[in-house]
Amino acid sequence: MADSAEFVFSDEQRELRAAVRRFAADQSDEQVVRRLMESDPGFDPKAWARLGGELGVLGLSVPEELGGVGGTLVDQAVAVEELGAALFCGPLFGTVMLAIPALVAAGDEQLLPALVEGTRTAAFAVGDRGGAFDPADVSVRATADGVLSGTVERVVDAAAADDLLVAATGPDGVGLYAVDAAAAATQARRTQLTTLDSTRRQATVALDGAVGRPVAGPDSAQRVITHALQVGAALLAAEQVGGAQHLLDLSVEYAKGRLQFGRPIGSFQAVKHTLADMLVEVEHARSAAYHAAWALGDGSDDPALAASIAQATASRAFAGVATDTIQVHGGIGFTWEYQAQLYYKRAVTDAALLGSAEQHRGRIARLVLDTASADGAPWVATGTE
Amino acid sequence: MSTVADSTRVADAAHQVVRDHDPTEVPVHEFLAATFDAGLAWVHFPEGLGGLGVPRGLQAVSDTIIQDAGGPVPFSLNPIGYGMAAPTLREHAGTDELKREWLRPLASTEHIWCQLFSEPGAGSDLAGLATSAVRDGDEWVVNGQKVWTSLAHRARWALLLARTDPDAPKHKGLTYFVVDMTGPGVETRPLRQMTGQAEFNEVYLENARIPDAHRLGAVGDGWRVAMTTLMNERSSIGSSGSRRGSGTIADAVALWASRPELHTPVLEDRLTRLWLRSEAQRLTSERSRALATVGGPGPEGSVGKLVGAELNQHVYEFCMDLLGPEALTYHDYTMRDLQRGEDYRGPLQQRFLRSRANTIEGGTSEVLRNILGERVLGLPGDLRADSGKAWKDIPRG
Ligand SMILES: Cc1cc2nc3c(=O)[nH]c(=O)nc-3n(C[C@H](O)[C@H](O)[C@H](O)COP(=O)(O)OP(=O)(O)OC[C@H]3O[C@@H](n4cnc5c(N)ncnc54)[C@H](O)[C@@H]3O)c2cc1C
């Protein structure tokens, strides 16, 4: 909890990492991932409840007064990174990356304890435009009594969620509402979609007269949603780092062991240099993701800029590393049986969620280039000196 | 935490130095000698040798205070001295007296240092070098030719790698020395580079004599000593400053801001990509600095050198493309030697041309990718045509 120097992990954080890694090795090996991704609801609720109840890693940055352990966002990023490395199946995106940060920002005590315990899960039914929130995009309407109607497309983790957080436009503006999905089953219809990444499910949520409890009113909803999207961007980047590091390790091992022309393929420079470039990408993504986690936690940087730097860097890193992983493995990298495809699909999915690298670069351009000063520009020789 | 106490100690010492020796008033040599005496030249060095024995990551604390007070950036005045010679001398020079004798004027920049490593026949394959050193009593007699020696024309001292045993395999027959560049038998001839200037030189060694006391490390152990130099070189070359947006990228961003009429969306995204990469590298350097302990830089420093070099090139290519035909002029191709203190970077076009060297000097980008692959990732080495052979039997050309 105490302020720690940026990038320096505490002993507790190292222990946390080791504990989550052990749990993932035990509960989420490749066989388990493959079984769960072809089952319903797509994850193991008992394993999820253990993550929340036993390990206590679902609400690490939730303040104690709201039912959490009062850790930091860096703690949460460490746990998410390890779960990402194992391609852990579960509603991390909807619950941990978005709903919990939104509820914390809203100061809502009601739903947090069960989400943090892992006995309930949530999805964030708020359309974002490239990772940013625009009230004009809200597709759900609310009456003054919080009765909601409208459709939200492709909501991650919504099919199995117990709680839906829905942005809706009411008479006084946009608010964030909580819908109990089981209680409102007929007024909140969820249609499960077949997803590119079977380990990260999506559903379309059609609301027709569902009753929502206001979590954040028009005066605070925008702030709450924006905060959730920024924290989500930082945590998603941590997940991307975990996935990318796993693939780099896998590719390096393969390149050491696979022999062609009588020598390991890793001794060929075309392969070796590809792996060296992958290393650079992973290192950059790690720096950008953890900078965002530190900065959003302690306010040491502009949160919008830090989140965009993290997403623009980590999305490209994970997707690029996943692409190269397939190439370095040759034919086996293209098979259904080999794990590269699972991570590749996650990488493509993560790159598009909460804004693409391009959308975040566009935002960085607005924040950095539009405000830049011409002072110190190098002189340009004119040929008449 | 002890790091907090160390940090305070460094900050106090830096404030004291700028209080006692106002860097905007006193001559640069005097100011830098004072930072050496205060242990702020290399904070992780031992006390008395320009350091305070605290973690290396705290150098930034001192540098920021000194530079904010208008103090010089000593690295830019004596780059090989600060970046490479100092860590090598500290680790390998024979006695503390010698270390002090060399380090203090190095730190004050009264003595410029250069590096006599590369030869016409030995660049990337540095261990194949041919310059010979033969023992003669308490001295060594050196013969050979070095090339691309930056700053040799201004240097007082040089780091020299020479062959002492041609019958041993190439890495085993090398010994490391410090040479007096003003002594007899050392001749320096300027070499002109594509910018028109002469930053580097050829150095001819003809029966140059070196006292044995000026040998660093054991006879035949020169390669290991050279590794200290090269690791430090690579980690010191990186382009990114420690402040966001500083370093080479600042040139492109300021130029962009100065020419709004040239903006297009495609160019904007190109510049944003460069900014982002430079920021990711800056954060990565900060991260490795934060994690660095008292020890020297590891092969990870090569990430910064690799990324920084390519980034510099892309940044200046961007600037040239932004200006288009307007940039196709030059200020002056007259060959001249750089004068101390002048802005060596020159106009944009010169910076652009100079950046071509970035992926060659201090290890080519191909070699750096080999290092990352082999030493960081642990991949198997390339097939070597020369392995195990005596140096004298290896083909050269
Ligand atoms: C501006 C500048 C300043 C310099 N200053 C100094 C100095 O102060 N002191 C000093 O000692 N040296 C200095 N150098 C020399 C520099 O270290 C060498 O130029 C460099 O190591 C490359 O050696 P080379 O020029 O002989 O090229 P070569 O080694 O012949 O390389 C030619 C090409 O072959 C590639 N290549 C070679 N080996 C391999 C391999 N194993 N795998 C893949 N590709 C390979 C290289 O990457 C390069 O593309 C300087 C160079 C420059 C440009």
- SS3 sequence of A225-281: HHHHHHHHHHHHHHHHHHHHHHHHHHHHHHHHHCEECCEEHHHCHHHHHHHHHHHHH
Task: Indicate if ligand 1 lies below 6 Å from the C-beta of B357.
Answer: yes
Q: Does the CB of B275 have a partner CB in chain A at under 8 Å?
A: yes
Please give the Cα distance from B49 to B235 (Å, whole number): 21
Q: Does the CB of B333 have a partner CB in chain A at under 8 Å?
A: no
Q: At what angle do helices A221-257 and A340-352 cross, to 10 degrees?
A: 150
What pLDDT score does B237 carry? 52
Mean pLDDT of all residues belonging to chain A? 96
* Domains of chain A and CATH, by start: 2-121 (1.10.540.10), 123-221 (2.40.110.10), 225-368 (1.20.140.10)
Q: How many A×B Cβ pairs under 8 Å?
A: 168
What CATH code is assigned to B239-376?
1.20.140.10
Lowest mean pLDDT among A239-248, A270-279, B326-335: B326-335
Does residue B294 carry a pLDDT above 50? no
Lowest mean pLDDT among A285-289, A345-349, B68-72: B68-72
Q: Does the CB of B273 have a partner CB in chain A at under 8 Å?
A: yes
Please give the Cα distance from A190 to A316 (Å, whole number): 31
If we measure between CA atoms, which residue out of A47, A26, A43 comes closest to residue A34?
A43
What CATH code is assigned to B114-225?
2.40.110.10
Give the CA diameter of chain B. 71
Instruction: Among A267, A283, A373, select the one facing B381 at the smallest CB separation.
Output: A267
Does residue B97 carry a pLDDT above 50? yes
The letter for the amino acid at A76 is Q
User: Which residues on B lie below 8 Å from A253 (Cβ)?
Assistant: none
Does residue B3 carry a pLDDT above 90? no
Q: Does the CB of A367 have a partner CB in chain B at under 8 Å?
A: no
Domain ranges of chain B: 3-107, 114-225, 239-376
Position B202 confidence tier, pLDDT thresholds 50, 70, 90: very high
Residue B125 is classified by DSSP as S
CATH 1.25.40 fits B3-107, yes or no: no
* pLDDT > 90: percent of chain A: 95
Average pLDDT over residues A354-372: 97
- Residues paired with residue B180 on neighbouring β-strands, in sequence order: B157
Region for B334 from its dihedrals, namely left if φ exceeds 0, alpha if ψ lies in -120 to 50, beta otherwise: beta
Residue A40 is classified by DSSP as S
What H or E segment, with its residue span, contains residue A125?
Answer: strand A122-125
Query: Given B233, B268, B326, B374, which residue is catalytic?
Result: B233
- Residues paired with residue A149 on neighbouring β-strands, in sequence order: A141, A208
First to last CA, chain A: 60
Please judge whether A273 and B373 are an interchain contact, meaning their C-beta atoms are less than 8 angstroms apart.
yes
Please name the residue of chain B whose CA is at the shortest distance from the CA of residue A362. B269
Quote the pTM value.
0.94
Residue B94 is classified by DSSP as S
Q: Is B233 one of the annotated active-site residues of the chain?
A: yes
Q: Does the CB of B271 have a partner CB in chain A at under 8 Å?
A: yes
Distance from CA of B222 to the nearest CA of A (A): 27
Average pLDDT over residues A173-194: 95
Lowest mean pLDDT among A79-88, A309-318, A330-339, B233-242: B233-242
What H or E segment, with its residue span, contains residue B354?
Answer: helix B348-354
B272 alpha carbon – ligand 1 mean position (Å): 31
Please judge whether A264 and B366 are an interchain contact, meaning their C-beta atoms are less than 8 angstroms apart.
no
Does residue A380 carry a pLDDT above 50? yes
Position B309 confidence tier, pLDDT thresholds 50, 70, 90: very high
Task: Indicate if ligand 1 lies below 6 Å from the C-beta of B302.
Answer: no
Does residue A1 carry a pLDDT above 50? no
Instruction: Among B268, B303, B368, select the one facing A369 at the smallest CB separation.
Output: B268
Average pLDDT over residues B294-318: 83
Please judge whether B254 and A376 are an interchain contact, meaning their C-beta atoms are less than 8 angstroms apart.
yes
Query: What's the token pair of residue A336?
Result: 């259904």
DSSP string, A337-382: SSTHHHHHHHHHHHHHTT--HHHHHHHHIIIIITT---TTPPP---
- Ligand 1, atom nearest to B126 Cα: 21
Check if the interface score ipTM surpasses 0.85: yes
Neighbours of A38 (CB within 10 A): 9
Query: Using one digit for the tens of pLDDT, what is the confidence trace for A68-95?
Result: 889 999 999 999 999 999 999 999 999 9
Query: What's the token pair of residue A271?
Result: 């392969």
Position B228 confidence tier, pLDDT thresholds 50, 70, 90: confident
Does residue A190 carry a pLDDT above 50? yes
User: Of residues B291 and B148, which shows the higher confidence score?
Assistant: B148
Position A351 confidence tier, pLDDT thresholds 50, 70, 90: very high
User: Which residues on A lie below 8 Å from B307 (Cβ)?
Assistant: 280, 284
Does residue B284 carry a pLDDT above 80? yes
Average pLDDT over residues B372-381: 95
Q: Does the CB of A1 have a partner CB in chain B at under 8 Å?
A: no
User: Which residues on A lie below 8 Å from B60 (Cβ)?
Assistant: none
User: Of residues B20 and B382, which shows the higher confidence score?
Assistant: B20
3-class secondary-structure state, position B117? coil
B108 alpha carbon – ligand 1 mean position (Å): 30
Phi, psi angles (nearest 5°) of residue B175? -135, 150
- Residues paired with residue A202 on neighbouring β-strands, in sequence order: A156, A193
Does residue B239 carry a pLDDT above 60? no
Please tell me the total number of residues recorded for chain B in this structure. 397
DSSP string, B260-294: GGG--HHHHHHHHHHHHHHHHHHHHHHHHHHH--S
Query: Using one digit for the tens of pLDDT, what is the confidence trace for A62-72?
Result: 999 898 889 99
Q: Does the CB of B311 have a partner CB in chain A at under 8 Å?
A: no
Query: Using one digit for the tens of pLDDT, what is the confidence trace for A269-323?
Result: 999 999 999 999 999 999 999 999 999 999 999 999 999 999 999 999 999 999 9
Query: What's the token pair of residue A8?
Result: 């320096």
Are B104 and B50 contacting, i.e. CB atoms less than 8 angstroms apart? yes
A354 alpha carbon – ligand 1 mean position (Å): 44
3-class secondary-structure state, position B362? coil
Task: Indicate if ligand 1 lies below 6 Å from the C-beta of B248.
Answer: no
* pLDDT > 70: percent of chain A: 99
Distance from CA of A185 to the nearest CA of B (A): 45
Task: Cis check for the bond before A41: say yes or no (omega within 30 of 0).
Answer: yes
Sorted by sequence, the CB contacts under 8 Å of residue B50 that are 6+ apart come out as B36, B39, B40, B41, B42, B86, B103, B104, B107
Neighbours of B380 (CB within 10 A): 16
Does residue B153 carry a pLDDT above 50? yes
Q: Does the CB of A309 have a partner CB in chain B at under 8 Å?
A: yes
Please give the Cα distance from A380 to B346 (Å, whole number): 9
Instruction: Among B271, B372, B380, select the one facing A256 at the smallest CB separation.
Output: B380
In the block, residue with structure tokens 């066989």:
A31
Please judge whether A372 and B254 are an interchain contact, meaning their C-beta atoms are less than 8 angstroms apart.
yes
Please tell me the total number of residues recorded for chain A in this structure. 385
In the block, residue with structure tokens 């935002």:
A363
User: Which residues on B lie below 8 Å from A365 (Cβ)?
Assistant: 268-269, 271-272
Position B58 confidence tier, pLDDT thresholds 50, 70, 90: confident
Please give the Cα distance from B85 to B155 (Å, whole number): 12
User: Which residues on A lie below 8 Å from B329 (Cβ)?
Assistant: 381-384
Instruction: Among A8, A263, A376, select the one facing B291 at the smallest CB separation.
Output: A8
Mean pLDDT of all residues belonging to chain B? 92
Does residue A101 carry a pLDDT above 80? yes
Are B391 and B128 contacting, i.e. CB atoms less than 8 angstroms apart? yes
3-class secondary-structure state, position B153? helix
Please judge whether A381 and B245 are an interchain contact, meaning their C-beta atoms are less than 8 angstroms apart.
no
State how beta strands B132-136 and B139-146 pair: antiparallel
Position B293 confidence tier, pLDDT thresholds 50, 70, 90: very low
- Taking only residues 361 to 390 of chain B, the set having a beta carbon closer than 8 angstroms to any beta carbon of chain A reads 366, 368-370, 372-374, 376-383
Instruction: Among A312, A373, A381, select the one facing B347 at the smallest CB separation.
Output: A381
Distance from CA of A53 to the nearest CA of B (A): 33
What pLDDT score does B235 carry? 64
Query: Is residue A160 packed enough to be buried (19+ CB in 10 Å), middle (13-18) or exposed (0-12)?
Result: buried
3-class secondary-structure state, position A97? helix
What H or E segment, with its residue span, contains residue A101?
Answer: helix A100-106
Average pLDDT over residues A262-267: 97
Lowest mean pLDDT among A256-265, B15-24, B226-235: B226-235
